[in-house]
Amino acid sequence: MTAGQPRLAQGSIATGALSAPTRHLLFSRLQASDKPSSVVRRIRAAIILGLLSDGDRLPREADLARELGVSNFCLREALRVLRDDGLIITRQGKNGGSFVRRPQEPLPLASDELVALSSVELRDLGDWRQMLTSTAAVLAAQRASQSDIEWLSSYAERVVTAGDDDHARRAYARYHVALAAAAQSARLSRAELSMHEEFDWLVGLILSDPPRRRASARALHDITAAVRDGEPHAAHAAAERHVTTVTRELARLRLELIAAQHRSADAEASEVGHQAFAAEIRHFADQIIQRLQLLAEAAAEPLGAGDGPAAIQQNVARTLFSRLDEIGPATHGLGVIAEVGVIPGHAYWLDWWVRTETRGLQPDSHHVTDPRREDFYDYESREFIAHPRKTLVPWATGPYIDYGGVDDYLVTMSVPITRQGRFLGVAAADLLVADVERVFAPWLASASGVCLLLNAEERVIVSNTVTSNVGDVARATDQLHRTELGTFGWSLATEDAP
């Protein structure tokens, strides 16, 4: 047996009987800042993957909090979430404590988690999994012993011969643990547990399909063969192919799950072809532009008259709250941004509102408009105001990452505010790309092949494939057919002709 490699049987695994390396990995200190959710992911992954079995008792709260490096309050909050999800039960008394309660069917939990991810998060997880698996495969091809190879072959075979989905998921997870152990790397082994927490348990959704399970087992056997033959390059290539396939299938499944949740009568039109999808995109953009034009009209008079901020804010608020139910679900924030020098006494000025958790609006004051401050928000040359200033027509900027703001991909739509031919600023709306993707998910999931929504610079806004994700540039040589949308320079790129 390779030193430090956990040898895990398929049966019940009492916490006290866990091998020392496995227990050390399972209850090692967490590094993430969002501690309650990190605790939930760690324990949930251990339960779903079979490292903790039904009826196992977790360490005492004080001991577990200390081992994980979290506060008692944080741990209790995490345990509450796990209880609500039905993954543990807590009993009082002398023989009490928190006990594992394995779900009969964990796939709904994995489905919910997959839907909650953005396409960018899924791509990042896939990149992480690919890096980890490929590196472990290369090192294993150089360092694995015969017993390591036998364990890898055994786990790969168990994936396809497992009697149920649960055992297939466990075998798949343990293959990757064994691969990291065969690489003789303690750091890779620790990284594997983090990988299980966020990615591998989602792969159970793929393994529940018999043909995909067989394909995954064949891929694991290919990696093992390259390790056995001592071929690092072949091992790397086999690992990369497998993870790419799995990530692509998860991306497609994610869109299908979102589409099932949000499908509407209008979305059924996606079956008639790309022209219908193109029409839906135009309608989506037009609806937002119409609302922004009303906001621009409300702000034009006080801006043009040189009124102070109070008068502008009053008109903006009146317009927003009278039409709150008309603001689309993808709109994260919106408001008015004044042209530099238009408002007396305020070189830079904006009135911005953001969505609340209850889908209402609240003022957002995090933009600093004082040029003397280091964190000054210098919007004068930003595309969302510069392009409407130059053309006096609506425009869409992005996708771009709003660093220091939502720290996620945004598209900003903006409409010029004018009075008597004078440019006064813009009415604008920020759209989270993840929310835009949800709106279009039924159409993206129904596409028979690659389907990309591109901006004027050929950057991907949303897509149905992880190989061309948000922010990527679609090359002219990709042989995709373009359908010009006539809005913001956007186009729809598809594998088959419109």
pLDDT digit string, tens, across residues 434-455? 999 989 988 888 888 889 999 9
pLDDT at 146: 95
- Which of residues 48, 78, 103 is at a domain's end? 103
Tens digits of residue pLDDT in 393-416: 999 999 998 876 777 899 999 999
Nearest Cα neighbor of 306 from 209, 213, 415, 419 is 419
My answer on whether omega of the bond before 388 falls inside 30° of 0, hence cis, is no
3-state secondary structure of 388: helix
Residue 215 located in a structural domain: yes
The answer to the question of residue 180 being in a domain is yes
pLDDT over 50 (residue 76): yes
Residues 128, 23, single domain; the answer is no
Sequence-distant (≥ 6) Cβ neighbours of residue 266 within 8 angstroms:
280
> Could you tell me where the DSSP H helices lie in 183-273?
186-198, 204-207, 210-228, 232-262
Residue 432: the pLDDT is 93
Mean pLDDT in residue range 333-346: 93
Q: Is residue 41 part of a domain?
A: yes
The residues that bridge with 401 in the sheet, in sequence order, are 409
What average pLDDT does range 230-249 have in this prediction? 96
Q: Could you list the residue range(s) of the whole structural domain that residue 66 is in?
A: 15-103
Asked whether the beta carbons of 309 and 415 are under 8 A apart, the reply is: no
* pLDDT of amino acid 120: 83
Q: How many CB atoms lie within 10 A of CB 420?
A: 7
pLDDT band at 105 (very low <50, low <70, confident <90, very high): low
pLDDT in tens, 361-380: 899 988 899 999 998 999 99
User: What mean pLDDT is predicted for residues 73-97?
Assistant: 87
**Same domain, residue pair 123 and 251:** yes
Total tally of structural domains belonging to the chain: 3
**Nearest residue to 152 (alpha-carbon basis) of 126, 170, 171, 133:** 171
Of 436, 464, 466, nearest in space to 262 by CA: 436
Q: Which two tokens stand for residue 454?
A: 């591109």
**CATH code of 94's domain:** 1.10.10.10
Supply the pLDDT for residue 13.
Answer: 35
Residue 283 buriedness (CB in 10 A; 0-12 / 13-18 / 19+)? exposed
Contact between 311 and 471 under an 8 Å Cβ cutoff? The reply is no
Question: Is the pLDDT score of 12 beyond 80?
Answer: no
CA 51 vs CA 18, 43, 190, 205: distances in Å: 8, 9, 14, 19
**3-class DSSP assignment, residue 416:** strand
Among 220, 240, 259, identify where a domain stops: 259
| Same domain? 273 vs 252 | no
CA distance 32 to 186: 19
CA-to-CA distance for 133 and 239, rounded, in angstroms? Answer: 6
* 492 pLDDT above the threshold of 60: yes
Q: Are residues 310 and 423 in the same domain?
A: yes
Q: What is the mean pLDDT of residues 319-346?
A: 89
CA-to-CA distance for 336 and 425, rounded, in angstroms?
7
Q: Return the C-alpha torsion angle 179, 166, 67, 60, nearest 10.
A: -150
> Do 356 and 456 share a domain, yes or no?
yes
Dist. CA 130–CA 189, nearest whole Å: 15
Any bridge partners for residue 343, and if so which? Answer: 346
Whether residues 290 and 408 fall in one domain: yes
Tokens describing residue 376: 């000054």
> Are 286 and 415 in a shared domain?
yes
CA distance 104 to 279: 44
**25-39, 62-76, 127-141, 358-372: segment of lowest average pLDDT:** 25-39
- In sequence order, which residues have a C-beta less than 8 Å from that of residue 214 and are 6 or more positions away? 160
Residue 4 lies in a domain: no
> Is 313 exposed, middle or buried, given 0-12, 13-18 or 19+ CB atoms closer than 10 A?
middle
Helix or strand run (H / E) with residue 428: strand 422-432
Verify that 251 and 353 share a domain, yes or no: no
Q: Which residues, 6 or more positions from 123, have their beta carbon under 8 angstroms from its beta carbon?
A: 247, 251, 466, 469
What is the reported pLDDT for 265?
38
Q: What is the CATH number of the domain that holds 425?
A: 3.30.450.20
* Cα–Cα distances in angstroms (integers) from residue 385 to residues 242, 341, 350, 488, in the given order: 45, 14, 12, 14
* Mean pLDDT, rounded, for 110-132: 88
Measured in whole angstroms, how far is the alpha carbon of residue 74 from the centre of its chain? 24
Domain edge (last residue) among 230, 259, 288? 259
**What pLDDT does 261 receive?**
74
Query: Do the beta carbons of residue 274 and residue 449 sit within 8 Å?
Result: no
Query: Half-sphere exposure of 364 toward its Cβ, with a 13 Å CA cutoff?
Result: 20
Are 97 and 113 within one domain?
Answer: no
Whole-number Cα distances in Å, 404 to 354, 378, 407: 15, 14, 6
Percent of all residues in the chain with a pLDDT value above 90, rounded to a whole number: 47
> Tens digits of per-residue pLDDT, 290-319?
999 999 999 999 998 888 899 899 998 998
334 and 377 together in one domain = yes
pLDDT of residue 28: 66
Query: Distance between CA 413 and CA 46 in Å, rounded?
Result: 44
Q: Report yes or no on 191 lying in a domain.
A: yes
> Mean pLDDT for the chain?
85
Residues 64 and 94 in one domain: yes
DSSP secondary structure code for residue 356 in this structure: -
User: Residue 385: exposed, middle, or buried by beta-carbon count in 10 A (0-12, 13-18, 19+)?
Assistant: buried
Q: For 28, which DSSP code? A: S
Is the residue at 8 inside a domain? Answer: no
Answer yes or no: pTM beyond 0.75.
Answer: no
- Report the phi/psi class of residue 195: left, alpha or beta, with left for phi > 0 and alpha for psi in -120 to 50: alpha
Please tell me the distance from the alpha carbon of residue 376 to that of residue 84, in angstroms, as a whole number.
44
Question: Does 7 fall in a domain?
Answer: no
Distances from the Cα of 116 to the Cα of 113, 140, 332, 461, angstroms? 5, 34, 17, 19
Residues 6+ apart with CB under 8 A from 74: 35, 36, 39, 65
Same domain as 299, residue 441: yes
Supply the CATH number for residue 239's domain: 1.20.120.530
Cα 171 from Cα 150, distance rounded (Å)? 14
pLDDT at 196: 76
In a domain, 430, yes or no: yes
